Structure 1
Amino acid sequence: MRIAITGGAGFVGRHLAESLDAEDTVIVSRRTGVEIDDVDALTAAFAGCDAVAHCAGINREIGDQTFQRVHVEGTRAVVEAAQRAGVKRIVMLSFLRARPDCGSGYHETKWAAEELIRRSGIDHTILKAGMIYGPGDHMIDHVTKAVRSWPVFGTVGFTEKKVRPIPVQEAVAVLRAALAGQVPESTVAVMGAEELELGAAVRRIARVAGRRPLYVPLPVWAIKALAQFTEWTMVTPLVAKAQARMLAEGVNEPAPYAPEPPVGIRPSLPFSEDLIRAALPEGRFGAGDLRVARWWASGARVRADRAVGSAR
C-alpha cells in the first residue's frame, strides 16, 4: 500500500514515515517543497497513493502559517487533491478536544478540518489524539529543558488537571491500523493507558531527568501570559497559547465524545520511566532558543557573505 503523509517532517509524521517502507511512502511538507494548501502540488504528490495520513498541523500561528490556512484551507486542499488522485482512504490526526464554538482558534479549526473530512465522501478515520510523547516531542523535551534551566517550575492552575500521555510508537500503531482499515469507527479518541495528574507527570519527567525543582502553582491567566511571551521570544515556545488552553482543560477525555479504538489497537503502555528516558533531550534552554539570537545569527551570515563578496 502506497501512503502519502502530510506533515511528514513533523513529530508524528516523521515517526510514522520511519515505521513504513520508504519506497511506498511519500513525504509531503514545506521541506519537500509542497505547501499544504496547494491543490495541484498535493494532487501530484498523492498520485498512485492508496491512502493519505493527514498529520499536518501547527500549535501556534507565525506569519501566513495561520490555523485557518493550515488546518482548514489545508484540509480542504488535501480532500480535493485526494479526490483528484483517486485516493481511497484518508486518516486525519486531530486533537482530543477539538470542537466548535469554544473560543480557541486551534480547537475550532481542527474541528472544522474534521468536518471537511467527514463530508469528503472518501472512506476515512479521524483520530482525536491526546498528548503524544517520544523522541523529538514538545512535552518531555520542554519539561526536561525547563527543569534543567531553572530551579522553579510553574504548574497550571490550583486544581490539578489530568492527562493520558500516549507513547508515539502507540500513536503510530493506531495510525497504521486506521490506514489499513482496521479501525471500525470513523472517529476515535486516542489516549494513553495511564491517567495521572499533570503535576504528577511533570514530576515524573523531572525525576527521570535528575532534577527536583520547586513547583509553584500558577493561575491559568499567568500560564497564558507566559505562553504569549514565549511565542514572541522563543523559536519553539516553552508553551504555546493553544497548549496552555489544552493543559488548563486537561487532556484525558474527548470532547465531543468519541469511542476508543478496539482492544488490540488501543494504546496499552503506561507513562513509564523507561519511555520517558528514551525521549529525554540533550542540554537545556539557552540563548540559541531565542528568536532574536536566530535573527542575529542569520544577519551575521548575511553580513559575512557581503563582506566576502566585497573582498572579491
Structure 2
Amino acid sequence: MQDLVTVFGGSGFVGSQVVRALARAGHRVRVAVRQPARAYDLLLLGDVGQIQVVQANIRDQDSVARALDGANACVNLVGVLYESGRQKFASLHTEGARNVAQAAKAAGVTSMVQISAIGADADSPSVYARTKAKGEAAVREILPQAVILRPSIVFGPEDDFFNRFASMAVLSPALPLIGGGKTRFQPVYVGDVARAVAVAVANPASAGQTYELGGPAVLTFRQILELVLSETQRRRFLLPLPFGVANLIGQLGNLMALTPIPPPLTTDQVAQLKVDNVANPALPGLAELGIEATAVESVVGSYLYRYRKGGQFAEPPELDTGVTPA
C-alpha cells in the first residue's frame, strides 16, 4: 500500500469516484469532509483500514491542517454550483483552495491536485468562473508544482446535468434551450476524471501542469437534450429560451438559493452558458495522462433508463441516437 492521500470534498459525486480510484491504485486515503456521518459508506470502496473519514472544513485552517497531518499528497475537490448560506464561491473556490495549499506546504505535502473547471477565467462575467481562476492562481503561487485539472461538465450515474434534464422531461412538456441551445460542451465521464486524479497524484511528470478534461465528442446544448430524450424515450418540445428570459428565471433562482430548495437556474449559471465549455486543444488532457476518453452515449443509458416509462422494464432505445458531434 502506498502513501497517504487526503481528499477534501471526497463525499460528492466526483469525490467518491476519486476515492475509489485512489484506493484501487493502492493509496491510503483520508477523506476530509464537513459532515463525516454522510461519508462512512466510502469505507467500503477500499480494503479494511485503507480509507479513513475525518471532519474538516476548508474555511477552517486548523481543521485543514489536522486533515493533512502525515499525508504525502492531497486533492481538493470542494466547490459549489451556486451560493447558499455560508457556502460562497469566494470562500470555497478561492480562500478554501488557498487554505489547503498553505496547509499542504506547511505539512511538507509533495503533491497537490486542484480540481477547477473549464472556463475558469479571472475576467469572466461569471463569479463561479472568476473564483475558480483565483483559486488556481492562489494554489500555484503557494505550490508551483500543483496539478490543475479542469473538467468540462461531468457525467455519470449521480450527475446533476443529464439527470436534471431527464427528470424534467418526465414532468414537463418542454425542455428549455437556453440561448437557443448553441452552447457547446465536451462531457467527460466521472470515472475518467477520477482516473486522471489518481494518475496526476502519482506521476512526477504532471507536476506544475494544467490539464483540460473533455470527452471524445463536442455536443451542443440542443444535441445533449436530444440525447436525453432519446435515452428516456420521451417526446418533448425543445423551447428556445433567450438569455434575457433565462436571466429573469435565474433571478428567481437566486432567491430560491436562500432556501433549502435547489434553484433550477441562477443568473451566474446563465452567464456561464454564454461561453462554450470545451477543452483547449493547446493544453494537455486525458490522452496525455494515458486515459482513453469514454463516450457519453456509451454510459448515459445505464442510468437514464430509470426516467423511461416502465423504468428498467422498458424496451431499450435504438442504438443510433441521431446525435452527431458539433
TM-score grouping bracket, smaller chain normalisation: 0.7 to 0.9
Letter paired with 1:251: N
- Any idea what SS the aligned residue of 1:178 has? helix
Q: 1:10 aligns with which of 12, 17, 35?
A: 12
Q: Which runs of 5+ in 2 are unaligned?
A: 37-54, 309-326
Please tell me whether the aligned partners of residues 9 and 31 of structure 1 are also in contact (alpha carbons under 8 angstroms).
no
> CA–CA distance in 2 between the matches of 1:46 and 1:249?
36
| 1:214 to 2:218 alignment | no
Q: 1:242 to 1:177 in 2, by over 3 A?
A: farther
Letter paired with 2:117: F
> CA–CA distance in 1 between the matches of 2:268 and 2:151?
15
- Any idea what SS the aligned residue of 1:269 has? coil
Letter paired with 1:225: L
| 1:259 to 2:284 alignment | yes
Shift of 1:35: 1.4
- Any idea what SS the aligned residue of 2:273 has? helix
> CA–CA distance in 2 between the matches of 1:246 and 1:135?
23
Please tell me whether the aligned partners of residues 155 and 215 of structure 1 are also in contact (alpha carbons under 8 angstroms).
yes
Please tell me whether the aligned partners of residues 171 and 267 of structure 1 are also in contact (alpha carbons under 8 angstroms).
no
Q: 1:241 to 1:12 in 2, by over 3 A?
A: farther
Letter paired with 1:210: Q
Shift of 1:139: 0.6
> CA–CA distance in 2 between the matches of 1:158 and 1:142?
18
Q: Which runs of 5+ in 1 are unaligned?
A: 285-312
> CA–CA distance in 2 between the matches of 1:131 and 1:164?
7
Query: Superposition pairs for residues 100-249 of structure 1, below 5 Å?
Result: 100-121=122-143, 123-158=145-180, 160-181=182-203, 183=206, 186-233=209-256, 235-249=261-275
Shift of 1:231: 4.4
Q: 1:50 aligns with which of 54, 57, 72?
A: 72
> CA–CA distance in 2 between the matches of 1:135 and 1:218?
27
Query: Equivalent residue for 2:29?
Result: 25
- Structure 1 stretches of 4+ moved >4 Å: 281-284
| 1:93 to 2:115 alignment | yes
Please tell me whether the aligned partners of residues 183 and 261 of structure 1 are also in contact (alpha carbons under 8 angstroms).
no
Q: 1:242 to 1:7 in 2, by over 3 A?
A: farther
Query: Equivalent residue for 2:300?
Result: 276
Please tell me whether the aligned partners of residues 196 and 289 of structure 2 are also in contact (alpha carbons under 8 angstroms).
no
Q: 1:45 to 1:184 in 2, by over 3 A?
A: closer
- Any idea what SS the aligned residue of 2:199 has? helix
Shift of 1:141: 1.3
> CA–CA distance in 2 between the matches of 1:283 and 1:262?
33
How high is the TM-score relative to the length of structure 1? 0.83
Shift of 1:244: 2.7
* Alignment deviations for residues 66-111 of structure 1 (CA, whole Å, 9 cap, x no partner): 1111111101110111122211111011011101122221111100
- Any idea what SS the aligned residue of 1:249 has? coil
Letter paired with 1:191: G
Please tell me whether the aligned partners of residues 91 and 125 of structure 1 are also in contact (alpha carbons under 8 angstroms).
yes
Count of residues paired in the alignment: 282
Please tell me whether the aligned partners of residues 229 and 235 of structure 2 are also in contact (alpha carbons under 8 angstroms).
yes
Letter paired with 2:255: W
- Any idea what SS the aligned residue of 2:134 has? helix
Please tell me whether the aligned partners of residues 181 and 222 of structure 2 are also in contact (alpha carbons under 8 angstroms).
no
Kindly report the root-mean-square deviation, in angstroms, between the aligned alpha carbons of the 2 structures.
2.3
Shift of 1:263: 4.3
Q: 1:39 aligns with which of 39, 61, 72?
A: 61
Letter paired with 1:265: G
Shift of 1:268: 2.0
Please tell me whether the aligned partners of residues 146 and 208 of structure 2 are also in contact (alpha carbons under 8 angstroms).
no
Q: 2:90 aligns with which of 39, 47, 68?
A: 68
Query: Equivalent residue for 2:44?
Result: none
Shift of 1:122: 5.1
> CA–CA distance in 2 between the matches of 1:101 and 1:145?
34
Q: 1:50 to 1:67 in 2, by over 3 A?
A: same
